[in-house]
A and B are shown apart, each in its own frame.
Chain A
């Protein structure tokens, strides 16, 4: 096929444009669960701290998969020869996380939550769980693998007029947080390590960047609607998979916020498309995987007197320099890949990650104009490498081992350009572009966990969980609309931890849906603004809210009085009853006719409308929330007819 479509600026791209390039995207959403303990040990969950008491040093080596193959990422990570340092805090990490003690049995609370969420996705449930080891050789988990298991497959959620497939729902342990990664040393903080996490994998069913963000939002709302997942920074993270026609599935990791997704996926689609266009250009120049030619030489002699500061500093520090000639590549290092990003960036990224040359810039190339080496230096470097006019040259510097590895890696990446889009895991950057992180791992990195036996999920456990499952947000939202919950409150209410309370209030206490929704959505926000803290969380607030609904049901409290009484009850910790008028048996709390007549016969008023308004004001000052304002207004209308000032 021809790659003649040219990407427009982000804002100008239409769904038809994305269809033209065959944009496809899927999501992997990670969400921490609200449990007391970690997944495979009994460390407390959710205690985070930068403080650490000791360090442990480890290296990672590739091992064979269950099917007897090495994983590509594993080999790449091994090439990098990193020293991994773990900072450990004795309060949050035990010998399990440090891989010095075998796993304990899986946390049942986490398992219940994961099973429930799989049911919300209407997954096909797994009868027997098998714990797998998913290899991560970057060191982000000290064992070198993540313990993970699939609890459900082949689910789906409704989206627009179609469904989005949920390929699988996994339950797994969270990884370390990277502190730094400089040269051959990578440092991790271990406080998050081992936290229970679910991974939701969707099919590649999204067709535009906007759809990806929307589906991500829906999935996030869905899991949060259970009230059993963690919220806050880092508790939910998503990876986005993107491909275009002729490209390959690229996984972008570490997307911090959903609104970032559209630009990020746009850039990735453009990157793949432009790499395919680059291949076309190479083919046009007669360069294919078979005819590709390149060479590398040590070139210190030719750049010893350079004024280019990074190279000068490296050579002064005893480093070496290599030159790489890419035959026929002239001009292509400046081939655009993403917004303000060019092909030489792909090369620099590889050098940074694989050869650990983390100090940037780490390469300089002959297509860069007016930057890097002086114009006079290029000819001698080119001559040393035997480079001709149609060739491109890349110079890299570092220790002998690193620079040599880097030179090889530059050749590998350039050759890949003649093949297409290499399968990679990429990193989301804050400007909406993405950078190379590692080779995309495949199913070869999976290995059965021989430390834990398979676990049967009994049918009665599933039945019990199914019975206690909250209605899905899709069902809830349909019902909310049906009973007249204001449109702008529907989504917020369905995600609210108080959603179950709404249902009892409306169905059992017969409350006006609009009133109940306003109370449950707006008032918690107001407390947050006012800094009212809920000591024992939403459970306590739910109990007090229920008392309020009971009072409304019993006509002892009316909507105008709700905020005040609710806040009084929350801040004092005393029951709502204490703040309600306590009528004698038989006495109605409402003002009697005489009092209303008295209010209406006050000062002279120009007209009945103003007379009533003033009287209502005076009445509500005293009785706010304790009488039904609408009923009082009707009483007043009636009285107006009888009472003359």
Chain B
């Protein structure tokens, strides 16, 4: 065994001391120092941690770090290596239950400890899932396939395309529904692109993740997984959806349309919200309750259309006051073919940007305007500045969310370079990404502190 394995993660002074006393990781030992003795098992060290401490697990189960320089002697008793493994059990098969496919992309839905970084890494197999969430077997016959193991911020075109193709394949194979395990940070980007790449799906396609990793007793992973598998197996909603907690309580999940959903809190369980509209349905362990009727229904056929076109040279520009035109210029100079601007208010940027926008127009770059307020429509006629910009070729993109606009422009430019064609694709809703109207309950951000809101919160579990 190499020293890198023997002294996992240790470097610098700590590595020297462990090597000097021939005490590799997993040794059960007493470290002697001038002030006293510490007894426990030597643990691997996180690579990002400093090079001067040795970590041991005390008999009581606690971990502590000892300054390597203080160690004057080591007494070794034996060795106890940890094998972190979720108990695997064969997922039971029941011929009457629907077949659901879980495609894994990574994220915290199923995870285990990573000694290298000290963080959690994804773990995933039907057996492991059954071992930790046995309730799934009451809902369906589950098959899983690990497409890749990446954190959601590392998802990109390669993964989008592979996922879309895998979904198409599974639908052809006759599954009753598809669940996609995904990290939550960019889940809404993936939900949007899959809404465009996978069209006319006859079955539900449900994206799911967790805000608290499954190595925590209070994790939302198990319940999210149950909700999403139930939706895939039983619901008649044949769309790409995001299935995550409705409230922070363990009560129900919401099914959000893949093109209108967004992560809205860095850490809350109920972080996903439908923007400018209402979710499709509520889901609990007992039932699925539609909140609207205008969704695409489940069908018996298998006629799904997979269109994985994707142009990578597209950017989002989040406008801020005093932005300099060189921000746009640099995109032009770097060969970008499309730009989504997240403008202020109804969709504005400052005048100094105009020459740069003119350059973009001349270079046949597709420029679309969305709003950084997230809620509401772009309306560029209200003020002259908006009209000026339209003259410069900036196309208002109605109530397309900036991230949704981004992936849609990637998708449109992947299909054609003709800007009129692109415009047609961009402004024709495919999967509810642009809506004709915003219902009056499509914008409800309750303000805490107001008596009636507090009354509501006191009555209904958050």
Which residues on A are within 8 Å of B, measured CB to CB? 53-68, 70, 74, 90, 95, 98-102, 123-130, 132-137, 142-145, 148-150, 153-154, 167-168, 170, 201, 442-448, 450, 453-454, 456
Contacts and interface: CB of A to CB of B under 8 A. Distances in A.
B248 A100 contact: yes
B461 A56 contact: yes
A154 B36 contact: yes
B84 A58 contact: no
Contacts of B269: 100
Interface in B57-112: 57-67, 70, 80, 82-87, 112
A76 B46 CA distance: 33
A154 B61 contact: no
B267 interface: yes
B435 interface: no
Interface centre among B35, B55, B120 (most CB of A within 10 A): B35
Chain B interface, >50% SS class: loop
Interface centre among B46, B60, B448, B454 (most CB of A within 10 A): B60
Contacts of B344: none
B36 A129 contact: no
A292 to B, nearest CB: 27
A371 B461 CA distance: 44
A63 B66 contact: no
A100 B61 CA distance: 26
Contact of A150 (B62, B211, B251): B62
B223 to A, nearest CB: 8
A588 B387 CA distance: 96
B249 A450 contact: no
A428 B61 CA distance: 26
B212 interface: yes
Contacts of B118: 448, 450, 453
A55 B460 CA distance: 8
Given A149-B62, A448-B63, 7 more contacts: A56-B462, A61-B222, A63-B216, A66-B57, A128-B67, A136-B217, A137-B217
A130 B454 contact: no
Contacts of A74: 217
A130 B62 contact: yes
A132 B215 CA distance: 13
B225 to A, nearest CB: 11
A466 to B, nearest CB: 11
Interface centre among A65, A74, A201 (most CB of B within 10 A): A65
Contacts of B143: none
A317 B87 CA distance: 40
B447 interface: no
Given A126-B65, A127-B53, A456-B53, A66 B70 contact: no
B406 interface: no
Given A128-B67, A135-B217, A443-B61, A55 B461 contact: yes
A440 to B, nearest CB: 13
B458 interface: yes
A171 B215 CA distance: 22
Contacts of B119: 450
B264 interface: no
28 contacts: A53-B454, A54-B458, A55-B462, A61-B217, A63-B217, A65-B61, A68-B82, A98-B248, A100-B211, A101-B267, A126-B66, A127-B70, A128-B53, A128-B64, A143-B216, A144-B217, A149-B62, A153-B58, A153-B64, A154-B36, A201-B60, A443-B59, A444-B61, A446-B60, A450-B118, A450-B213, A453-B49, A454-B53
Contacts of A124: 33, 35-38
Interface centre among B33, B62, B113, B268 (most CB of A within 10 A): B62
A145 B85 CA distance: 20
Interface string B110-128: 0011000011100000000
Contacts of A450: 113, 118-120, 213, 215
B457 interface: yes
B457 to A, nearest CB: 5
B321 to A, nearest CB: 30
B61 A144 contact: no
B162 to A, nearest CB: 29
B82 A66 contact: yes
Interface string B216-227: 111100110000
Contact of B55 (A130, A136, A137, A143): A130
B217 A132 contact: no
Nearest to B45: A454
Contacts of A129: 64-65
Interface string B346-377: 00000000000000000000000000000000
A60 B59 CA distance: 26
Nearest to A123: B36
A150 B60 CA distance: 10
A129 B62 CA distance: 10
Contacts of A446: 57, 60-63
Interface centre among B55, B63, B84 (most CB of A within 10 A): B63
Contacts of B50: 456
A63 B65 contact: no
B218 A53 contact: no
Given A59-B250, A450-B118, A445 B61 contact: yes
Nearest to A155: B36
Give the 4 A-B CB pairs with smallest separation, nearest first: A128-B65, A144-B217, A124-B36, A443-B61
A102 B213 CA distance: 12
A64 B217 contact: no
A608 B46 CA distance: 89
B214 interface: yes
Contacts of A154: 36-38
A613 B86 CA distance: 89
Contacts of A442: 61
Contacts of A123: 36
Contacts of B454: 53
B250 A150 contact: no
A63 B215 contact: yes
A446 B113 CA distance: 13
A64 B64 contact: no
Nearest to A55: B461
Contacts of B120: 450
Contact of A143 (B46, B82, B112, B217): B217
A162 to B, nearest CB: 19
A57 B270 CA distance: 13
A68 B66 contact: no
Nearest to B449: A90
A62 B216 CA distance: 8
A56 B457 CA distance: 10
Contacts of B58: 150, 153, 168
A149 B65 CA distance: 11
Contacts of A448: 63, 113, 118
Contact of B268 (A65, A100, A201): A100
A442 B58 CA distance: 13
Contacts of A53: 454, 457-458
Contacts of A168: 58, 60, 62
A64 to B, nearest CB: 6
Given A443-B60, A450-B119, A145 B86 contact: no
A363 to B, nearest CB: 29
A127 B57 CA distance: 14
Contacts of B61: 65, 132, 134, 442-446
B216 A144 contact: yes
A168 B213 CA distance: 30
A111 B62 CA distance: 17
A444 B57 CA distance: 12
Contacts of A54: 457-458, 461-462
Nearest to A99: B218
Contacts of B461: 54-57
A170 B223 CA distance: 33
Contacts of A153: 36, 38, 58, 64
A143 B70 CA distance: 36
Interface string B128-141: 00001000000000
